[in-house]
Structure 1
Amino acid sequence: MCNPISYEQELIDAIPVPMFFMDVEGAFIGSNQAFNSFIGKSDAEVREMGVYQLLSGNNVFRHEEIDRILLINGSIQPFEEEAIGAHSKRYFVRYRKALVHDVKGHVTGIVTTIVDLTDLREVEDALMASESQKKAILDGFPGVLALFDNNLSAIWVNDAGRRTGGKSIGKPCHDIICKSTHHCRDCAVTQSVQTGEVEVAVRAIDSTSGGVEQFFEVIGTPVKNAQGEVENVIVIARNITKRFELEKQLRQTQKMEAVGTLAGGIAHDFNNMLTPIMGYSEIIKLRMSQNGFDDELISEYLGEIFKAGKRAKNLVEQILTFSRSSEQKESRQYLHPIINEVLRLMRSTLPSTIEIDQDIDKTCGPVSIDAVQIQQILINLCTNSSEAIGQEHGKLTVSLKKGALQDDTEEEWLELTVSDSGCGMKQELLERVFDPYFTTKEKGRGTGLGLSLVHSIITNHGGHISVATEKNIGSTFRIFLPVSKEATRFDQVLTVSNEPLEEEKRVILVDDDAQVVQVTSELLKSIGYQVNAFTSPVDALEKFQENPETYDLLLTDLTMPRLTGVELCNMVKVVRPELPVILFTGYSESLDNVVVSDSCIDEYCLKPLSLVELSQTVGRLIGRDQENIN
């Protein structure tokens, strides 16, 4: 027959959970083998060293206090904490404590069990880290990211969604995303629930800051159960306002490109029409003088016809200038003629209540800039000044003078100033006036890019721009640009000496427009040149090749059927490399695609040419040629 005490110990040792026993006085009684293995000590060693000292180090009092509470209350909740095991290894464990009773029901001690939760805790920590990482990713998404049920109520919303919709859980999608009191028509979330497909919609939403319209792209992605039914919808809403504005700008740019293309075609034909109008008015006036027919009134009428044609030519060039979209080309530009041209245009577009004053120093040197860009700058600043003045009587002043920067004593500068007597700006607006997309204009009146582009153009050319303003007094924009010291090919062409026109010089004239050929031929003859005129470049080339030494100059149109002016020039130069060539066209944009620095072309000009311009241009080239031969 076995010893009952020995049997009980064997039974306790068979339990895989570490446990130990204390009497009601807090003395260690014993433990099972699982506890001995866990603690790495025998019962004798535990009794000698103290069980709580071994398990908790300096936290003995906590365990003793828990035991006292257990003895008083009869029970205590399990608790978790770190425990020290064999070889000082630390575990995360759950303690359970219960009272031990004898056969009479008297409390004789306390039994404590230990459950090792270390692996579970590591899994929980890993899960928490994973959840934190996922939350950081979802909350870090710059747009709204949310999960809705099939009734369109929010189940989960990221930080951006909570910032947009406040307490978002349970709210409908239109409240969180669109800030609306009712479901939106063509809602991507609703459609995704109905179709079971990914749906996309763009919504225009008024922001809370000043009612500025923002555009959001809303994507609804269905989440289906095992039966294929939509249970939830994942919603992504991104602010695409900047992209939307860029797309609008692209569309506007494409429109301007189309306008530029159309304007180019019209300009070519229109300038060809102006050529005989202006040319014949000069020829008639010249013939009247040569034949002794002196009628001041008729001469005045002819002069008015010529001036009207000149204005029409300038108007066409202005239309082309402000509609062209080709790559900007820097060259040395004197600003005073550009300013005069822009102010002439502005006088016809600004209200008559605005007085335009100008103070231009024509002795200012040139700057290296694209003419179109400086025109854009002036038009933008003048337009802004006009809007600042509004319907009231006011004054717009444009000045150009030699300037200086305080920190730059070596370089020469020009100071271009545009000032107005308008409403001025508040200080908070002044600080943002050059920011892209910032505008004080009403919806539909501009993109807010004007002054930022002005600032960009000026700084890209090494210049500086500043603004001073006073409420109800006006604003002044000051632009500083460095004076260019580098000479260009165009400058060099203008400095070639103008030799006196000589008799018996022969010009071969080529243009596919018969009227242009006829009037240009008459103009050349009237100033003493012999002319062989052709409307076909192929015929002109054949005639030239018969006797190439006969001709002193080639004057050709650029755009012609079968052979362009450049192609004709190259073929002529093969035979007569020294022959001067003038290329003229009715559309200045065409010249952008011609390498005018090529030795093939000696001069280029725009139709219609006045008698003086034609005489100077031809005389300059033939004079230069004669000078080179001698």
Structure 2
Amino acid sequence: MRLTFRAKALFLMISILIFVSMVYTYEAIKTEKEISRKEIIKRSEVVTTLASKTVELPIISENAELLKKTAAFIRNSPDVAFVSFYDKKENLLIHEGSLFPERLPQLSSNFPLSFFEERDFFIFYAPVYTIRASEDIGIFQEDALKQTIDHIGWVRIGFSKAAIKEMENKIVARGVVLALIFTVSSSFIVYFLITIATRPLSVLSNAVRRIKEGDYTEIQIKPTGDEIGELAVEFNRMTSAIKDRESRIMESEKKIRDLFERVEHAIFRLDKDGNIIETNRKFDELCGGANRFCGLFSSDMEGLRLQKVLSAGGMKNLEERLMGKDGNELIVIMSVYPEFDEHGEVIGFDGYFVDITEKKRLEETLIQTQKLDSLGMLAGGIAHDFNNILTGVLGYASLLKSTVPETDKMYKYIDTIEKSASRAANLAQQLLGFARKGKYVMTKLSVNDLVKELASFLKETFDRSITIVVETEENLPPVEGDSNQLYQAIMNLCINARDAMPEGGRLYIKTEFYLLHDEKVVDYFQIPPGEYVRVSVTDTGVGMTADVKKKIFEPFYTTKGIGKGTGLGLAMVYGIIKNHGGYITVYSEPGLGTTVRLYLPKGDGTVEEKKGDKAMIDERPKKGTILLIDDEEVVRELGKDILEAYDYEVLLAIHGNEGVRVFNECKDKIDLVILDMVMPEKGGRQTFKEIRALKPDAKVLICTGYGEEQYFYELFEAGAVGFLQKPFQHTELLSKVEEAMAR
């Protein structure tokens, strides 16, 4: 901080005053302390000498009571801390006071007084003497009296330093107060004198300060004809010139500032060290009050890298990630340009960036959606072919099993083949679930009932170390969906949550009505506005990294060990929810657990009651003619063998064109058409339309290795009587045929 002339003069004079005051005070305090000390020591010597005289008789008479009274009397003297009496052999006779008596130091009885100083006491030692008289009888003279002086003991008296310390403290306090009074009063006098001397300079200094703040009022100083008066006149002329120039500059700056603030790019200026020195409105909206350029970035390493880039000459149109005002990450296109001085040295930087966060997220959402859709198409195609292969294995196994007694050794082998094929069919079903081609029976259902039923099952099957908490919102509107598929989707989420908590934890399942007013983008999932029933599954497990979270819905991707997961659970959830017109969001951080939220569109009306179980298959032989159209030979032969075993007449066609021809030839005879949907030359959809054109009331049972496609519902509305999912067991085929024939 720059000191004014008056401040410097004051500082110098006051410093001298303080120094003189301190020296004087120090010497005065030192002198008074020495005088006080000598007075106390002198008084202590007198007390000790008198005590040595007083204690003569009690020591000679060895009167302990008298010694004790004498000690108590001396102890009551001012500043006496303790009193001890010793005999000639330095044996303690009596002690009175605080400090416990100790062994006497080496003393000489020839000295009338000895003095020792300790931290808290002055200790005085004095010998005790007695004068003895004796008679000698002379023959030729009168009686003569002789006197002898004997050393009979010691007096030890301790005097407390408390009084001297108290006195010293008072001396110091008095000296300090007097010094302060002297210093303060002197300082005021010096201040007054210097202020009068420097007042004209203060007027000029205040005028300069006002100009700095934008006040160009002329200064008023009485004309003195000296240098200060001339300086005042020239100063007023300079003020007028600065005022005119400042007006022109402010007008120009206002135009530039208005443009600076209106631009929708975030603009900023940096000093050479990377400190932000100027920003526009858009920058403040996005990044708030950041004061360091590198502090904007989401990682220290990124900040250091960009610091090097700036040092190397700036950047142009680079994609970077910044920390936004609310802590969210921003994706921007940034350019920064160096500013040089006349010597070519970098003195700062000018830069701007454009926020492309929303655009980038929408792009990533589109890419992720297209990726999952592509994988879904691939998975669906694989599952379709897989189901066609499994149809023969599972169908013939079930048919063969029905003809073999359970006691037969072959029954066990056939049963194993059937179970293995069923497991493979379940795997294919999961692939179809991800591909959004699963088998769905759409009804208006209560998600609360579904969750409560699932929670009861989980509490019985999950480890007791996992606490399951269910929170359902009352009067939750229904959703339109397949209860079995949604049950499976939520269960898969709960199983994943369980596997994320191997040491136990808490599993929360929550349902609620959720009204979304504006479009919401979470990670890679875009949720449009609308009314939803939201199901949240939260665990307190290990959580996921951002890289893992990007891949969790891809089929066959799993973080579990070999043999502990197929990687289809969440892929199936994704397909099921998408097929219900719903959306999924995932929030997870390593060590903080995971929350998966399902957004299901709110349905209208009320919840439909569950229908009872289907009746058992009537094992009695059937009558009727069935046309089976399928391009897979094994499916045709399997269907023919099963149906003919139950006395149905079966006609076969290998593709759509042949199926239409056969139906046209025998339409009055055919009672039911079993129609595959995916065939060469002519697909099932076109074949259905042509068959219905030939006979509007023809009964058609749709059969496919895919799940139900969207256009299947059009076929149901057009008159299709049922749906048969490949692969199937012989009982499933017969049950579907029986239902279709009964319509």
Please indicate the TM-score interval, normalised by the length of the shorter structure. Answer: 0.5 to 0.7
Q: Does 1:259 align with 2:379?
A: no
Instruction: Check conservation: 1:506, 1:530, Cα contact below 8 A.
Output: yes
TM normalised by structure 2 equals 0.47
Q: CA deviation at 1:547?
A: 3.2
Match of 1:368 in 2: 479
Match of 1:578 in 2: 697
Q: Does 1:318 align with 2:430?
A: yes
Q: Does 1:202 align with 2:313?
A: no
Give matches, 1:221-236, under 5 Å. Answer: 221-222=336-337, 233-236=349-352
Q: Runs of 5+ in structure 1 lacking a partner?
A: 1-68, 81-91, 102-106, 360-364, 404-413, 424-438, 463-474, 625-630
3-state secondary structure, aligned to 2:720 = coil
Q: 2:400 aligns with which of 279, 284, 302?
A: 284
Q: CA deviation at 1:606?
A: 0.8
Instruction: Check conservation: 1:534, 1:540, Cα contact below 8 A.
Output: yes
Q: Does 1:384 align with 2:497?
A: yes
Q: CA deviation at 1:553?
A: 0.9
Q: Does 1:308 align with 2:420?
A: yes
Distance (Å, rounded) in 2 between the aligned partners of 1:590 and 1:482:
22
Q: CA deviation at 1:552?
A: 0.8
Q: What is the identity, as a one-letter code, of the residue corresponding to 1:302? A: I
Q: 2:734 aligns with which of 610, 615, 618?
A: 615
**Residues 200 and 390 (structure 1), Cα distance of their counterparts in 2 relative to 1, 3 Å cut:** same
Q: Does 1:519 align with 2:638?
A: yes
Instruction: Check conservation: 1:354, 1:396, Cα contact below 8 A.
Output: no
Distance (Å, rounded) in 1 between the aligned partners of 2:219 and 2:662:
115
Q: 2:707 aligns with which of 585, 588, 592?
A: 588
Q: What is the identity, as a one-letter code, of the residue corresponding to 1:368? A: V
Give matches, 1:593-612, under 5 Å. Answer: 595-612=714-731
Match of 1:84 in 2: none
Q: What is the identity, as a one-letter code, of the residue corresponding to 2:417? A: I
Q: CA deviation at 1:181?
A: 10
Report percent identity of matched pairs: 18
Q: State the Cα deviation string for residues 381-425 of structure 1 (Å, max 9, x = none).
A: 4433443x3335x7979999xx9xxxxxxxxxx9999898x78xx
Q: What is the identity, as a one-letter code, of the residue corresponding to 1:581? A: V
Distance (Å, rounded) in 1 between the aligned partners of 2:681 and 2:469:
49
Distance (Å, rounded) in 2 between the aligned partners of 1:397 and 1:247:
33
Distance (Å, rounded) in 2 between the aligned partners of 1:200 and 1:256:
29
Q: CA deviation at 1:247?
A: 5.8
Q: State the Cα deviation string for residues 578-598 of structure 1 (Å, max 9, x = none).
A: 110011110115456652442
Q: What is the identity, as a one-letter code, of the residue corresponding to 1:199? A: N
**Residues 355 and 311 (structure 1), Cα distance of their counterparts in 2 relative to 1, 3 Å cut:** farther
Q: What is the identity, as a one-letter code, of the residue corresponding to 1:529? A: Y
Q: 1:543 aligns with which of 657, 662, 667?
A: 662
Q: CA deviation at 1:446?
A: 3.5
**Residues 266 and 157 (structure 1), Cα distance of their counterparts in 2 relative to 1, 3 Å cut:** same
Give matches, 1:477-516, under 5 Å. Answer: 503-516=622-635
Q: CA deviation at 1:313?
A: 1.8
Distance (Å, rounded) in 2 between the aligned partners of 1:121 and 1:563:
85
Q: Does 1:567 align with 2:683?
A: no
Give matches, 1:32-431, under 5 Å. Answer: 126=251, 133=258, 145-147=268-270, 156-158=277-279, 166=291, 168=292, 174=294, 179=300, 183-184=304-305, 189=310, 193=314, 198-202=316-320, 214=329, 217=332, 219-222=334-337, 233-236=349-352, 251-288=367-404, 295-322=407-434, 324=436, 331-333=443-445, 368-371=479-482, 375-387=488-500, 389-392=501-504
Q: CA deviation at 1:527?
A: 1.8
**Residues 274 and 419 (structure 1), Cα distance of their counterparts in 2 relative to 1, 3 Å cut:** same
Instruction: Check conservation: 2:316, 2:335, Cα contact below 8 A.
Output: yes
Distance (Å, rounded) in 2 between the aligned partners of 1:162 and 1:587:
51
3-state secondary structure, aligned to 1:584 = strand
Instruction: Check conservation: 1:95, 1:115, Cα contact below 8 A.
Output: no
TM normalised by structure 1 equals 0.54
Instruction: Check conservation: 2:445, 2:480, Cα contact below 8 A.
Output: yes
Give matches, 1:460-479, under 5 Å. Answer: none
Distance (Å, rounded) in 1 between the aligned partners of 2:630 and 2:446:
32
Q: What is the identity, as a one-letter code, of the residue corresponding to 2:641? A: E
3-state secondary structure, aligned to 2:305 = coil
Q: What is the identity, as a one-letter code, of the residue corresponding to 1:184? A: R
Q: CA deviation at 1:532?
A: 0.5
Q: CA deviation at 1:79?
A: 7.3
Distance (Å, rounded) in 2 between the aligned partners of 1:121 and 1:317:
79
3-state secondary structure, aligned to 1:549 = coil
Instruction: Check conservation: 1:382, 1:396, Cα contact below 8 A.
Output: no
Distance (Å, rounded) in 2 between the aligned partners of 1:247 and 1:398:
32
Q: CA deviation at 1:145?
A: 2.6
Tell which structure's C-alpha radius of gyration is larger.
2
**Residues 217 and 556 (structure 1), Cα distance of their counterparts in 2 relative to 1, 3 Å cut:** same
Q: 1:557 aligns with which of 676, 680, 687?
A: 676
3-state secondary structure, aligned to 2:668 = helix
Distance (Å, rounded) in 2 between the aligned partners of 1:270 and 1:604:
18
Distance (Å, rounded) in 2 between the aligned partners of 1:417 and 1:222:
48
Q: CA deviation at 1:524?
A: 1.3
**Residues 550 and 312 (structure 1), Cα distance of their counterparts in 2 relative to 1, 3 Å cut:** same
Q: CA deviation at 1:306?
A: 2.3
Q: What is the identity, as a one-letter code, of the residue corresponding to 1:305? A: I
Distance (Å, rounded) in 1 between the aligned partners of 2:535 and 2:322:
41
**Residues 220 and 274 (structure 1), Cα distance of their counterparts in 2 relative to 1, 3 Å cut:** same
CA-based RMSD of the aligned residues comes to 6.6
Q: State the Cα deviation string for residues 131-190 of structure 1 (Å, max 9, x = none).
A: 76567668x97x6733466xx756844385997764x5xxxx657756459851796646
Distance (Å, rounded) in 1 between the aligned partners of 2:448 and 2:276:
67
3-state secondary structure, aligned to 1:570 = helix
Q: What is the identity, as a one-letter code, of the residue corresponding to 1:200? A: L
